[in-house]
Amino acid sequence: MNKKFVAIACLAVAVAISPSCKKDFLNESDPNAITVDASYKTPNDVLLAVNGIYQSLRSGNNVGESSDLWTDQRSDDTGTQDNQSNAGEPFQFGNFSILPSNTYLKNHWVSLYGTVTRANVVLSHIDAVPFPDNSVKLQYIAEAKFLRAFTYFELVRLWGDVPLVTKQLSYAELPAATFREKQAVVYQQIVADLTDVINNSPLPNLQASTGRASKAAANFLLGQVYLTMATTQDQANRTTNLTNAKTYLMNAYNMRTFGTLNSIPYTDVFDVAKKTTCPELIFQIVNIQGDVNYSSSIAANFQAKGETINSQKKSSGAGYNVTHDLINEYETNDPRMTFSVKYANDPIVKDWFVTKFRDVSTSAGVNGYGGNDWILMRYADVILSLAEVNNYLGDQAAAIGFLDQVRTRAGMPTYAVSMTNSDYATKYPTLKLAILHERRVELAFEHHRWYDLLRTFNDADLVAYFKAKKQTDFGLASLANFTTKDRYYPIPFDEYKLDPVKMYQNPGY
């Protein structure tokens, strides 16, 4: 695999010619300009462009390892605890006081649409390229559509109605495309892209090259899409969407190369030495240990002052702020807590920090150039999604079976045994809440929590869920600020002002 993804950014340049000039020698091309058409001549040109789509995911403004601001810090798991100076804008996310002018929010929007644009450029030009092997062409089309669907799924869940563009646009076409499309239409496009990937592409069932799309990833993503539609969108077709979700989630599940989850130690999932061999991993962003440009910094950045468990790089700060609400969520003797978090007892820093992602190797060194891949999809998520969808379909026995796969792997009692524990039964009186709990502790800090909350609760219930928590477990962030408006982000002000009617603002902002 070409791990150093190469992005191709092309601009179309028009040369203005006076209408009175008829000489052919004046119809020259700018020798310093490269048109998009000129960039797509060979299959390798297309490969480089597809690599560029993958490369765009790496950014913290996109869905890379440092993109927690849009998800985990928006949830009840983590949050910035500095509301002063330059930290003021990040603090708005967890404090539920975000403004449309927030520059971090705008950067996220721009980066996600940058990924969409790269995918659209590939899909708009690939037919003009001769391919000796048509299966290679179909593979590149599938990868571009998968990544476009993946990105639109992020956009529609965070903002609701969003602009929907499925081709490369010229400057003249931009004004007409600047409008928010209804969520239902965006979901239709996501489903269409993923259905085509699943039914009409030569992608392998599992990652043939680490970090690239597969049939398992496409099926899992489509299952998540249908589950999200069933729980947050189309209630008239809820049962149909849930049935579809189960079908595609089971497709992904049946592509696994292991039996039950307990055959894979939990720690293997995050072991840098096993990131290319662990059978639980479905889709990830590849990092290169020791490489200044393509390494992971998460181990070092999450480490608190005085600690050495994550990285050889010394830390001078708090590492990563974990809410006490999450710490209280772990059951007694859950080994996932021991592995995932630690209490720093430094004279300056006395608080919990994240230890789930580690690389203390010599190759990572004192600069903290870690080799952790950023995991976007893994089988524990598939299994817990199957627990969720089966519970909604009324098959509690199947739901509990999937739930117990995850609990057994973690060394925790089964659901039936746990419900005899009064503390567990009080905290999670329904199977739905037990599944939500399991997702929280199993997938902590992997950027899923906010989306889990959006699927589990309607607007009013989500507000009640947050308001019932203890303010003391959240530090400076004020739970009192949370209202129904916070289900979606505001449309960035710069986008809204392009056309306040077609780019209408979300309610409450």
328-346 pLDDT, tens per residue? 999 999 999 999 999 999 9
Per-residue pLDDT for 296 more than 80? yes
Cite the beta strand spans of 185-331 per DSSP E: 281-285
Q: Which residue, among 68, 60, 12, 67, has the nearest Cα to 36 in the 3D structure? A: 12
* pLDDT for the residue 39: 86
Spatial contact of 491 and 159, defined as CB atoms under 8 Å apart: yes
Question: Token pair 């993923």 is at which residue?
Answer: 194
Per-residue pLDDT for 471 more than 70? yes
Which residues is 181 bridged to in the sheet? Answer: 162
State the Cα–Cα distance between residues 231 and 306, nearest whole angstrom: 44
Per-residue pLDDT for 83 more than 90? no
Mean pLDDT score, 302-311? 96
Per-residue pLDDT for 25 more than 60? no
Per-residue pLDDT for 445 more than 80? yes
User: Lowest-pLDDT range, 2-16, 82-96, 185-199, 352-366?
Assistant: 2-16
Q: Is the pTM higher than 0.85?
A: yes
- The single-letter code of the amino acid at 448 is H
Mean pLDDT score, 251-277? 97
Q: What are the tokens at 95?
A: 């404090």
| Of residues 66 and 3, more confidently modeled | 66
- Helices 134-159 and 183-200 cross at an angle (nearest 10°) of 150
Half-sphere exposure of 194 (CA within 13 A, CB side): 27
Per-residue pLDDT for 86 more than 70? no
State the Cα–Cα distance between residues 451 and 458, nearest whole angstrom: 12
Q: What is the mean pLDDT of the chain?
A: 92
Task: Centre a 10 Å sphere on the Cβ of residue 10 and count the other Cβ atoms it contains.
Answer: 17
Confidence at 3, pLDDT banded by 50, 70, 90: very low
* pLDDT for the residue 82: 77
Per-residue pLDDT for 4 more than 70? no
Mean pLDDT score, 156-167? 98
Instruction: Look up residue 4 and give its DSSP letter.
Output: S
* pLDDT for the residue 85: 55
Confidence at 398, pLDDT banded by 50, 70, 90: very high
Report percent pLDDT > 90 for the chain: 89
- The single-letter code of the amino acid at 171 is Y
Task: Centre a 10 Å sphere on the Cβ of residue 97 and count the other Cβ atoms it contains.
Answer: 16
Confidence at 302, pLDDT banded by 50, 70, 90: very high
Q: What are the tokens at 391?
A: 């519970």
Q: What are the tokens at 214?
A: 């597969």
Q: Which residue, among 377, 235, 243, 357, has the nearest Cα to 302 in the 3D structure? A: 357
* pLDDT for the residue 22: 40
* pLDDT for the residue 140: 98
Mean pLDDT score, 422-449? 98
Residue 396 CB partners (closer than 8 Å, separation 6+): 390, 431
| Of residues 28 and 8, more confidently modeled | 28
Domains of the chain and any CATH numbers? 1-183+193-202 (1.25.40.390), 204-258+381-468 (1.25.40.900), 287-372 (no CATH)
State the Cα–Cα distance between residues 158 and 33, nearest whole angstrom: 37
* pLDDT for the residue 8: 30
Spatial contact of 149 and 193, defined as CB atoms under 8 Å apart: yes
| Of residues 458 and 80, more confidently modeled | 458
* pLDDT for the residue 9: 35
Backbone dihedral region for residue 498 (phi beyond 0: left; psi -120 to 50: alpha; all else: beta)? alpha
State the Cα–Cα distance between residues 481 and 369, nearest whole angstrom: 38
Mean pLDDT score, 104-132? 98
Cite the beta strand spans of 207-361 per DSSP E: 281-285, 341-345, 350-354
* pLDDT for the residue 38: 79
